[in-house]
Amino acid sequence: LIKEKNQIKKLNFIDLVDEIEKKSTQTTLFIIDENIEKNYQLKALLESRLQSNSKRAITWIAKPGEPTKTLNEVERCCEFFLSQQITRQSVVFTIGGGATSDFGGFIASLLLRGLSWNSIPTSLLSMVDAALGGKVGVNSTQAKNLIGAFHSPDQVYLCCDFLKTLPSEERISGNGEILKYCFLDSSISELVLTDQREETILACLNFKKKIVDLDPFEANQRKILNLGHTLGHCLERMYALPHGVAVAWGIFLLLTIENNQSLLKKLKEFALKLDLDLKATPWGSHKLDLKILESLLKMDKKMTSTDEIDLILASDLGEIKIEKRKLDHLMNQLHEFNHDLG
């Protein structure tokens, strides 16, 4: 019997502990982001609740954000759990942003060759993207997310109450990924334009689930979820931008080099609604450093050979295609962009 993965359940914070208890097994492993633990003290709450039901809770507090995503932390965390008599029936819960679910989902994929896990995203970025779909892993010194696995969570719990303590720069970063969904699905763009916040988040998650269920290992359609990411990842590294903000600029750059004026107009409308400032460019009064950009492009997981990349293109809202683009062609387009910067 194959268990359905990536199921979505929306709930309030007050129901969360009950839900976790329902899903817990004799030994339940929690991986909680340190900042979330400071704000919500979930470790003591979960441990006492499970203990009162004669169950065991074992908790790993993960370093906040990207610093947890190293092989060194993976080893420390695996050794910790393995010293606590876990079994294949043990289930993992991650509670935190995208770094926590990337790291914790990877830990779940490794322990005893794979444990079931559930994801509780607490940042906007992870609610609309990272928590669902099973792309888990850590960073290499070469680039982000190069060491990992596909290991989908059974359940993603969407609890928007966590957003109340989210710093505003992280809210804006999450909005960058929501901007991407506006291009993937016109009904999501409607929700954004009519300020339906929680409905928007749920719709993004449901859209991603639909795609991931069709193509869990990114053989084809799932690539559309990377709209704006090819150039976005380069800009993220070059200008130290928050991920979602880099995706927004990646979409801007893509539409500009493709000369899609009508979608650029839509981009501005969505950006305004989503509090994304697209006036002050990350490159300021400088040109893009295309040597660095090209070397970063070459490390993209969407390179299909040494000189070709799968580029995700939007011709209209919801009209997305995946095109094999010669790196030389893409670089020429970027040279023209640089030339037009004056």
Provide the edge-to-edge strand list for the sheet that holds 117-121.
7-10, 155-158, 117-121, 91-96, 27-33, 56-62
Distance, CA of 274 to CA of 62 (rounded, Å): 30
Would you say 151 or 222 has its CB closer to ligand GLY?
222
Stretch of 6-14, 19-27, 79-87, 218-226 contacting ligand GLY, by CB under 6 A = 218-226
- Taking residue 299's Cβ as centre, other Cβ atoms within 10 Å add up to 15
Distances 299 to 86, 234, 252, 302 between C-alpha atoms, Å: 37, 10, 21, 8
Comparison of 33 and 244: residue with beta carbon closer to ligand GLY: 244
- Rounded CA separation 263/314 (Å): 8
Binder among 37, 73, 129, 310 for ligand GLY (CB under 6 A): 129
Q: Which is nearer to ligand GLY, 137 or 288 (CB)?
A: 137
Show Cβ contacts of residue 39 under 8 Å, excluding neighbours closer than 6 positions: 165
CB of 225 to ligand GLY, least distance (A): 4
Residue with smaller CB distance to ligand GLY, 202 or 225: 225
Reduced to 3 states (helix: H, G, I; strand: E, B; else coil), residue 180 is helix
Of 325, 308, 172, which is closest to residue 242 (Cα–Cα)?
172
Any contact of residue 225 with ligand GLY (CB under 6 A)?
Answer: yes
Cβ 36 to ligand GLY, closest distance in Å? 21
Q: Residue 37 or residue 300: which is nearer to ligand GLY going by CB?
A: 300
Could you say whether residue 300 binds ligand GLY (CB under 6 A)?
no
Number of amino acids touching ligand GLY (CB under 6 A) = 6
Residue pointed to by tokens 């988040």: 201
CB of 143 to ligand GLY, least distance (A): 15
Binding-residue pattern over the window 133 to 152 for ligand GLY, x denoting contact by CB under 6 A: x-x-----------------
Please state the closest distance from residue 134 (CB atom) to ligand GLY, in A: 8
Q: Based on CB atoms, which residue is closest to ligand GLY, 60 or 244?
A: 244
In whole angstroms, give the CA distance from residue 303 to residue 122.
Answer: 32
Positions touching ligand GLY (CB under 6 A) are 129, 133, 135, 222, 225-226
